[in-house]
Structure 1
Amino acid sequence: MQLIKQQLFKNSSFAGKYLQGDKNILRFYDYNLTMEKERAEELSHLNFQREKVADAMKEFHEKFFPCNEAFYQINRLRENNAVTVVGGQQAGLFTGPMYTIHKIISIITEAKRLENILHQPVIPIFWIAGEDHDIDEINHTYVQHSSEIHKVRIPEKNNIKTPASERKIDPEKAIAAVTEGLRHLQETKYTKWLKESLLSDVEENLTYTSWCAKILYRLFKGTGLVIMDAHDPAVRRIESNFFLEMTEKNNSIRKAFTTQSADFNSLGFGEPVEVDEDNAHLFLHDNHQRFLLQSKDGIWKEKTSNRVWQEAEFKEKVASGEYKLSNNVITRPVMQDLLLPVHTFIAGAGELAYWGVLKPVFHLFGHKMPIVRPRHSVTLLSRKSEKTLKQYDLSVEDVLNGEARKKREQTIAKVKSQNNNSIFYQIQKDIIERFEEIPAAQADSNSYLQLHEHYKKKLTVMLEDYEQSIDKKIKELEGVHLNRLSSLEAEIFPNAQKQERQISILSYLNTGGPDTVSRLLNKVAEEESGTPAHFVSYL
């Protein structure tokens, strides 16, 4: 496996300016990327429920991620000077798009780099957003082979708001999804292993979260990665007092968020999270469903129904444990920081932007924001695609900018121009006209005329056959080019999106085997310098 390191963001983008230290952007964050020791010092003055969190993590890992290296890291978290590098993602089918894998790799490599700098335990933690309830965002993925991209989906109705960690997957539907996904991939020496490993996960109580965790175990066991379910009941019990605090400070949370959002937007950075002044940024869990809450003028209400509570009544139900809550994108980062000693948060480009409106919300709870570091991104290239890039003098960036599509369109236009029936028609017309000048065509004898017409017809048929043969050969030759370019585009820019935002890691496990991810991790670790980068990986 060969790795080529490239610039991650354009300098003119928000993330690009962030990496360059743009003062107008950095003022929305508490730390820049070089302040590793300052953040570690800040964390040394904060208290965390380390034992309870570690116990909850241990229980989860015993069920879904029984890795000795992970247990070792969990025990290290109990140490008072231990800090963490954290990132998270939804529990997508088969782990979802490949950016989930890339984020985890970024978490692991950054934790190792920081530990060498800080000389204290740095634990890599990936949390699965088990509280998320939008099934249409997690019940599908895409696999790619040659020029074909196929959507694999577990059919379910999105009429209930059940969290991913509570939504059980019908075993028959799970098996069907595995079969469907692999059916669209080329048979390789690893296909049998891949199918058997996925089918071995299927059980009666399988959920999107547990399936995601099981697959991640196979991909990252031995690396020291620690997994968290954000909706783990044991974790929720630890968070209960923090949720109560979030209800008590809700007016301040909403005001801090809306004010910071307005400031952020006024500088031309947009509105990364929709502003609704009544949004409480909390969800109520009731009867295995999740409902967004609103708060205004001492009244709490469920946004999509008529349920209403006086503020004192609602807080009392939260304090007693009768009401269970979960976070949205605004309060989740703060909850994460109250629960864990987060030194660095590994973010996607979208997360980097919306964290820019959270600084005063963190401060309400006596915490500064952790360092926010963009994750690495990766484009995986098969040998076939590597060869095609060289053959057509293209780069990955060219494909992302539509150059492969342009070459395909040029090829099609070339075929059409070469396959011009009017040219053959004119040639045939000219030949026939000259053919009529032969003396036999002008003879009075029927035998001469019959002979002339016979060969005239043969000549016409021969020309038509020639035309059809030429057409066929042109299409065959140019079809090879079309297929190569279509396959290249399907791998690098599937459905007009970056590879990591569409394609499942299954496609590459099928061709590269069970150590594909660990080999990629090791290569990225060798290149880790602390600067987020894009890597092109030649498999």
Structure 2
Amino acid sequence: MIDCFKYRETQHFSELVYDYVEQSESFKEFISNFPSYENLEKQAIQKGKSYLKASREVLVDALKSQYAYAETSQKTRDNIEALSFENTFTITTGHQLNLFTGPLYFIYKIISTLNLAEEMNEKYPDKNFVPIYWMASEDHDFDEINFFNFKRKKIQWNSDQSGAVGEFNTETLEDLIPELEEVFGNSKRGQDLVQLFKKAYLEHSTLFEATFYLVNQLFQSYGLVVIEPQKSSLKRLFIDEMKTDLLQQKASDCVEEQSERLADKGYKLQVNPREINLFYLKENQRLRIVQEENHFQLVDTDIRFTKDEFLEELENHPERFSPNVIMRPLYQEKILPNICYIGGGGELAYWLQLKSYFDSQNIPFPILLLRNSVMLYSDKTEKKMKNLDLNLSDLFLSPNQLADKRTYQITDIKIDFSQQIEHLKDQFSNLHQLAHRTDQSFEGAVAAQEQKQINGLKHLEKRLLKAQKRKLKDEINRVLSIQDLLFPDEGLQERTLNFSEVYADCGPDFIDILKENLKPLSGEFACIRLNVYNT
């Protein structure tokens, strides 16, 4: 069973997300177009005019090399082959290499991408649409990705390695196996999860290889193509844009100007450009590049290059140059025949800062789509909610709002003082008329006394509500415990739970359930009941 809510009704997203999903006119200047089937087809036509056949050949060769020794589905291999054709386009999502996929929304991102590609293939059979997961293997923020949660227990990988996380050696992850065996338990599915972790992380030497294996295992049957962007052949396609950033530093000016326009509309900015938006990869380090007078300096080192030396390095070893958060989207859109990027609210926010930069580089800006968001709950939880006369919509309230609402519902005392306040206003109405007729200077004193007494009644109402909440504490806690189950730490479930917690109860079928129920263009938040799920 599935229930859907407007994003604004959930009270858990930013104003930017609400406005974007509602297709506010305020975004028109920052996007290519809003997501729809028709606009996606138009985007494909535009992309087809600019994407080079030679780039397709490089892309397909790189993917075939990456998948050469991988066990994957024929559907995925067919999708890779289809990228050779001029009528094939991609729909892409990207994410960091979180340990064991990290939070649940990683799964939702990929399912949104799979479903939109399927829907476009059905609607426009004269074209091919391939779902892509872009691995952020060059990211270097290890603390963001080195853990996942299982039933509120944090499973964390500690390592002193540095540099691009995709190159991290996974050998020390063997130390987590005893902990995983304990938390996953002895059930068949628990043992399956341990084996999946072992195969991914202990039979592959780097985090990139492990994540590639894991995502391929989970989604290969649906034809997902995983791309690892840190390849010399792919980076070579991007040399001109990297050279432009080093020498002309256009990104900084374009993004700053567009960011100011977004900020003027009241939206919070996600990223700030640098003068140079590239890192240099060297010996397990990802080093920031700055220009100083007539040379390029690698920050926190003594390494420097003259302009000619650095351009020669770029030409000979493009794989050593790593785009930051500003340039990565441009790199993605340069090497892929992409028409749509699917991401979360934060990602949409920083993509919205980039269109003028894309325009300056003559690369089509993709259509942006907010990924599906989901709350999962069980039939057991639904029964508890029915017994308490609790609606799904109630759970989106803050805990204090929910406690107040529940108190009003079950108390046998009338807490609402609005009738008394209206009666008080009627009494003061006569005083206002009297003051106006006799001494107008007295009107201010009458108004002040009226407000004082209204505030006193409101204060008494709050005290009575607080007293009733204490009296009904056990009943209210039953409701709040359900809310905490589905909104851990007062946040969305998808930002905390890992897929393993759902897998332990449902097995791999939960991915099929999500695929069958999630509609990427619906623009709604989904609540899905799983009959065999314990939350």
TM-score by length of 1: 0.78
Q: Give the stretch that moved more between structures: 310-319 or 216-225.
A: 310-319
User: Which runs of 4 or more aligned residues in structure 1 lie more than 6 Å from their structure 2 counterparts after TM superposition?
Assistant: 408-411, 477-481
Residue matched to 1:33: 35
Greater C-alpha radius of gyration: 1
Distance in 2 between the 1:150 and 1:404 partners? 26
User: Do the aligned residues in 1 keep the contact of 2:201 with 2:207 (CA within 8 Å)?
Assistant: no
SS in 2 for 1:123: strand
User: Do the aligned residues in 2 keep the contact of 1:90 with 1:128 (CA within 8 Å)?
Assistant: yes
Equivalent residues in 2 for 1:343-354 (5 A)? 343-354=339-350
Residue matched to 1:472: none
* 1:402 matches 2:401: no
Change (3 A) 1:65 1:367: farther
Distance in 1 between the 2:269 and 2:259 partners? 7
Residue matched to 1:137: 144
CA RMSD of aligned residues (A): 3.0
Deviation track 1:55-86 (CA, whole Å, cap 9, x = no partner) reads 21122234445221110100011101111101
Corresponding letter in the other structure for 2:257: T
Change (3 A) 1:386 1:165: same
Residue matched to 1:432: none
Residue matched to 1:426: none
Equivalent residues in 2 for 1:154-169 (5 A)? 154-157=157-160, 160-169=161-170
Residue matched to 1:520: 514
Residue matched to 1:311: 307
2:84 to 60, 78, 82: 78
User: Do the aligned residues in 2 keep the contact of 1:97 with 1:141 (CA within 8 Å)?
Assistant: yes
Residue matched to 2:56: 50
Residue matched to 2:353: 357
Residue matched to 2:371: 375
1:397 Cα offset (Å)? 4.4
Equivalent residues in 2 for 1:69-218 (5 A)? 69-119=75-125, 120-144=127-151, 149-157=152-160, 160-170=161-171, 173-185=172-184, 188-203=187-202, 205-218=204-217
1:230 Cα offset (Å)? 2.6
Corresponding letter in the other structure for 2:513: R
Distance in 1 between the 2:270 and 2:327 partners? 15
User: Do the aligned residues in 2 keep the contact of 1:54 with 1:77 (CA within 8 Å)?
Assistant: yes
Deviation track 1:292-332 (CA, whole Å, cap 9, x = no partner) reads 22346665333344544443432232123287101111111
1:511 to 497, 501, 505: 505
Corresponding letter in the other structure for 1:495: D
Corresponding letter in the other structure for 1:341: P
Distance in 1 between the 2:301 and 2:155 partners? 34
Change (3 A) 1:529 1:350: closer
SS in 2 for 1:222: helix
SS in 2 for 1:151: strand
Equivalent residues in 2 for 1:255-294 (5 A)? 255-276=253-274, 278=275, 280-294=276-290
Distance in 1 between the 2:516 and 2:67 partners? 23
1:240 Cα offset (Å)? 4.4
User: Do the aligned residues in 1 keep the contact of 2:371 with 2:520 (CA within 8 Å)?
Assistant: no
User: Do the aligned residues in 1 keep the contact of 2:230 with 2:319 (CA within 8 Å)?
Assistant: no
Distance in 2 between the 1:176 and 1:52 partners? 39
Distance in 2 between the 1:491 and 1:185 partners? 19
User: Do the aligned residues in 2 keep the contact of 1:281 with 1:331 (CA within 8 Å)?
Assistant: yes
Change (3 A) 1:13 1:244: same
Distance in 1 between the 2:493 and 2:314 partners? 43
Change (3 A) 1:520 1:20: closer
User: Do the aligned residues in 2 keep the contact of 1:99 with 1:501 (CA within 8 Å)?
Assistant: yes
User: Do the aligned residues in 2 keep the contact of 1:261 with 1:275 (CA within 8 Å)?
Assistant: no
Distance in 1 between the 2:386 and 2:180 partners? 30
1:285 Cα offset (Å)? 0.5
Distance in 2 between the 1:143 and 1:290 partners? 31
Distance in 2 between the 1:256 and 1:298 partners? 24
Number of equivalent positions:
459
Residue matched to 2:21: 19
Change (3 A) 1:403 1:66: same
Change (3 A) 1:392 1:274: farther
1:354 Cα offset (Å)? 1.0
Change (3 A) 1:529 1:326: closer
Residue matched to 1:531: 522
Corresponding letter in the other structure for 1:346: I
SS in 1 for 2:109: helix
TM-score by length of 2: 0.78
Distance in 1 between the 2:295 and 2:255 partners? 19
1:331 to 324, 327, 330: 327
Residue matched to 1:497: 491
User: Do the aligned residues in 2 keep the contact of 1:381 with 1:491 (CA within 8 Å)?
Assistant: no
Percent of matched pairs sharing the same residue: 24
* 1:340 matches 2:340: no
Deviation track 1:77-124 (CA, whole Å, cap 9, x = no partner) reads 110111110110001011111111000000011111222333300111
Residue matched to 2:426: none
Change (3 A) 1:297 1:82: farther
User: Do the aligned residues in 2 keep the contact of 1:396 with 1:492 (CA within 8 Å)?
Assistant: no
Q: Give the stretch that moved more between structures: 286-295 or 350-359.
A: 286-295
Q: Which runs of 5+ in 2 are unaligned?
A: 411-471, 531-535
